[in-house]
Amino acid sequence: MEMKDAQAEVAAFAAERGWDQNLPTQRGAHLMREVGRMCEHTMFIEGMTTKQPTFDAEKQVGDIMFSLLQLANRMGVDAEAALAKAMKADRAKYPAEETRRQSIEALKKASDKFRLNPY
């Protein structure tokens, strides 16, 4: 499914249920709750907690995308255009070779500090 199609489908789904009238803060809070669920799982995987959450990664990513597209719709943002703009800016801001080196160094430090298994 193309991003524009997904955004339109989410808009129609939300309108049928009256969710298109939710305030942006409500949509943002829902998005944060969904992202928080993903973080709970990654914390378990990385050994930062022993509490294993009930988790389905594919469903959770779908819930996050649904919530993000709802927020974009409520704020009048074209998600595809916003992503393209962000990718262009991030390519300029984070040169691949230098950023990869810094990421590897940071992961090694975190792994040593927290005794993490970086997948």
Query: What's the average model confidence in pLDDT over 75-104?
Result: 95
Cβ partners under 8 Å of residue 116, min gap 6: 46, 47, 110
Report the alpha-carbon distance of residue 73 to residue 87 in Å, rounded.
Answer: 20
Query: What's the average model confidence in pLDDT over 112-118?
Result: 58
Instruction: Give the CATH number of domain 3-114.
Output: 1.10.287.1080
Q: What is the pLDDT of residue 16?
A: 98
What is the maximal distance between C-alpha atoms in the chain?
Answer: 51
Report the alpha-carbon distance of residue 79 to residue 18 in Å, rounded.
Answer: 21
* Helices 57-75 and 79-93: angle between axes, nearest 10 degrees: 100
pTM surpassing 0.75? Answer: yes
Q: What is the pLDDT of residue 5?
A: 97
Q: What is the pLDDT of residues 16-73, one digit of tens each?
A: 999 999 999 999 999 999 999 999 888 888 778 888 878 888 999 999 999 999 999 9
